[in-house]
Every structure is written in structure tokens, then in C-alpha cells.
Amino acid sequence: MQFRFENQILDSDRRELWRGSELISLEPQVFDLLVCLVENRERVVSKDDLIASVWGGRVISESTLTSRINSVRKAI
């Protein structure tokens, strides 16, 4: 599925993020986090929801989550 916002295209099937004609490189967890947030853009996504979706419920540190969120912000 493709999501378009501003000058970017997020293609979840091809696992690609494009800014204009530039392909933006993302780590797999960062990409999954971005997809989760975009798919749930109509609601507030809880920390537990993010961990379940991106990390399969595994225990992660706060710094890991913060780091991945910061990487999403930089990408977009």
C-alpha cells in the first residue's frame, strides 16, 4: 500500500520511502515504526501498541524506542 504525504511516498509493500525522486534508506525497525504510525494516523498509538507491532512484544529499552522514533523524524 502506498501512503503519500507532502513530497514523500511510503510504499509498505516494497518497503520503500521516497522523497521526490530520492530513495530514503531506513533500518527495518524504523521503517516498520513509520508504517505503524502512518497506518494508525487517526489515533494516538500507545507505547505498548508500538512494541507489539514493531518488536513483536519483546522487551525493549526506552532508549531503543526513543532512538527509532528520532530516526523516523529525521527520515521524514
State which residues of the chain have pLDDT below 50.
none
The whole-model pTM stands at 0.91
Which residues, in sequence order, are CB contacts of 19 under 8 Å at separation 6+? 7, 8
Distance CA 58, CA 65 (A): 12
Radius of gyration of the chain (CA): 12
6-15 long-range contacts, CB within 8 A, separation 24+:
8/76, 10/34, 10/35, 10/38, 12/39
pLDDT tens string 44-61: 999 999 999 999 989 999
